[in-house]
Homo-oligomer: A and B are copies of this chain.
């Protein structure tokens, strides 16, 4: 049960007053804060490379995809709205990182694929990302990486259950 975690002050105290703020024990906040903090570490690398965070997310989501991704699919993957993704892709096309291609079966669909320039850009970043992840996990030797990842995946899965769609 015991794991040797950092035993710093339990709350980093933005608040001097009350000994415990609500948010400092609120799971959603702790998740957002942890995610933000560890992402910020990598964002420094992106900054040095002159790559914006959403651009990196798109490139990372595209990496490995041969057929290309749809706009809506990318939006979901990057946790953005669809119109936001359309405009982000406009910029990335302009910068030569990705290209839009027609879908073979469905003419509504636009498939997004990386250009050689996009691939070259993402290649180095992927190396950095993997290195950072390894370093990060090494900071917490007592947690099982796969176990943690499984938990996160299940958290991201459909909340569903309970009220689905209201009867029309």
Contacts and interface: CB of A to CB of B under 8 A. Distances in A.
Interface of A: 1, 3, 5-6, 8, 10-12, 14-18, 20-23, 25-39, 41-42, 60-61, 63-67, 69, 73-74, 76-77, 79, 126, 129, 132-133, 136-137, 139-140, 143-145, 147-157, 159-160
Contacts of A25: 149
B145 A27 contact: yes
Nearest to A31: B35
A76 B12 CA distance: 11
A73 B149 contact: no
A1 B73 CA distance: 34
B15 A65 contact: yes
